[in-house]
Chains A and B, each alone.
Chain A
């Protein structure tokens, strides 16, 4: 029997691969940044789910740090697109 948490993680990884299509085929740079922001959110979700699947607490801490750092990188790319840097 497949564990429900592994199944959830697998489905979220399928969503991540689908939104990777927008990173590849996005017409403008802003489209790619939007897709990257979506992928960051989904990666935080899959880390929290996989921490239960593998019974490892450290994955959730890594998810917190990843959420904050991806926010900083999104702001940095946005500032660059805006022409501020």
Chain B
């Protein structure tokens, strides 16, 4: 079916962005830029690999009519929603904790949190 090409595209996008996030995690100079690269890119990539799973499940549901596939699709969507809601909040908490524990941005031009004190 034509959705198999859609699954390949989704998985390629997901793996590419997961890899870019990991490369950014390894190569960026300080905590905040690493957090910026890793959190956004891996959240996006994981959403796209899970969307590939959802597309596969709906295709199998259309082909075979087995309700197991519908359950798989809905639970994958719930997993996507859990990632999408919890990841930015966790990144915010880590960044705030890093700043409060005394880690400074390495090449900071201006530090508004320091100015505001």
By secondary structure, the B interface counts as helix
Pick from A35, A52, A67: contact of B86, CB under 8 Å: A67
**Contacts A18-B22, A78-B96; A48 near B31 (Cβ below 8 A):** no
Give chain A residues whose Cβ lies under 8 Å from the Cβ of B96.
Answer: 78, 82
Given contacts A11-B15, A48-B76, contact A30 B38 (CB under 8 A): no
Task: Check A28/B75 contact, CB under 8 A, given A22-B25, A38-B25, A78-B96.
Answer: no
Look across to chain A and name the residue whose beta carbon is closest to the beta carbon of B86: A71
Report the contact-size class of chain A (Cβ under 8 Å from the partner): 35 or more
Residue numbers in B under 8 Å from A77 (CB-CB):
97
- Most chain B C-beta atoms within 10 Å of own C-beta, residue among A19, A38, A78, A81: A38
Tell me if B3 counts as interface (CB < 8 A to partner A). no
Given A31-B31, A41-B42, verify A48-B79 contact (CB < 8 Å).
Answer: yes
26 CB contacts below 8 A, A to B, read A15-B18, A18-B26, A19-B22, A22-B25, A29-B101, A31-B31, A37-B39, A44-B83, A48-B49, A48-B53, A48-B76, A57-B75, A60-B72, A67-B83, A67-B86, A71-B82, A71-B86, A75-B90, A75-B93, A77-B97, A78-B96, A78-B97, A79-B93, A82-B97, A82-B100, A83-B101
Interface residues of chain A, those whose CB is within 8 Å of chain B, are: 4, 8, 11-12, 15, 18-19, 21-22, 28-31, 33-35, 37-38, 41-42, 44-45, 48-49, 51-52, 57, 60-61, 63-64, 67-68, 71, 74-75, 77-83
